Structure 1
């Protein structure tokens, strides 16, 4: 990542899948639109059913002191009843190219409509917004990521 500041790449294993890299629709848009990498059906919500992961085939790189926030598209809850399972996801800088899944970004969804919903390949499913962050005066974090999705704090 020597000269790279922030951006997106196709994750390993997705190079031959015609992946759409995230992009902004207008010059004043904060969010980069992410697209589904493949068709997936999200069942209508029932107690005990977990959210469904929707692959993007994308990974993100960024500078030290930054993270990528994944947020819902404003139209998904209103038009389709889809909401992010974690409401707001944080993609850390060290998630990029990790040994567990190469930093592959996925969105997790609950479907609160009355019927199953199928998301077609290349449908816009969410947005990513780059942010900077600060650390506390007494911060002493020295650990290193050892895996992919959900791996921090597990060692």
Structure 2
């Protein structure tokens, strides 16, 4: 019986995607690589700076300016081509690599990613894991296919005595599908 591990999603099966791996014998995290080449733009783009200046100087900001600034601050999803299976009482925590903020100016905007056991093979995206990133560096960052971008750690979790099953539902979709 398989307990936990990784598989390549069908979309990437013939594209030389690497299954996550540990780089040392004592590493807790499995390194995830990017499945594609892509650019993560710097948040310090002109539209964002205009709105930041207006906020600082207490100037009125119109909806169009605000929407353009939000587009710059929106996290980018880096596809991994990987899905993870695990036991029902386990979670895969996605964390930034420690070198990303220091060397590349890249951050996981929500701190960590949480991959639930029922995300695996979901109908929305087959359970493909995407890594959310923002680039707070001065210049755009080029991500190449095969670059290590995050790490995943399998962990057990505990349930509270008061777990309310009436608020639980079956997962119906992919990324971000269990809430707003």
**Shorter-normalised TM range:** over 0.9
Equivalent positions of 1:75-86 (< 5 A) are 75-86=99-110
Displacement of 1:17 in angstroms is 1.0
Residue correspondences, number? 152
The answer as to 2:50 corresponding to 1:52 is: no
CA deviations over 1:33-90 (Å, ceiling 9, x no partner) = 0000010100001432211110100000001200000000000000010001221110
The answer as to 2:134 corresponding to 1:110 is: yes
Alignment partners' CA distance in 1, 2:152 and 2:27: 11
Higher strand share: 1
Equivalent positions of 1:111-150 (< 5 A) are 111-141=135-165, 142-150=168-176
Question: Which residue of structure 2 lines up, in the alignment, with residue 12 of structure 1?
Answer: 10
Question: Which residue of structure 2 lines up, in the alignment, with residue 152 of structure 1?
Answer: 178
Question: Which residue of structure 1 lines up, in the alignment, with residue 92 of structure 2?
Answer: 68
Tell me the secondary structure at the aligned position of residue 10 of structure 2: coil
Moved over 2 A (4+): none
Question: Which residue of structure 2 lines up, in the alignment, with residue 41 of structure 1?
Answer: 39
Tell me the secondary structure at the aligned position of residue 67 of structure 1: strand
Q: So what's the TM-score if we normalise by structure 2?
A: 0.82
CA deviations over 1:104-144 (Å, ceiling 9, x no partner) = 00101110111000001000000000011011112133421
Is there any run of 5+ residues in structure 1 with no aligned partner, and where?
Answer: none
Alignment partners' CA distance in 2, 1:102 and 1:86: 23
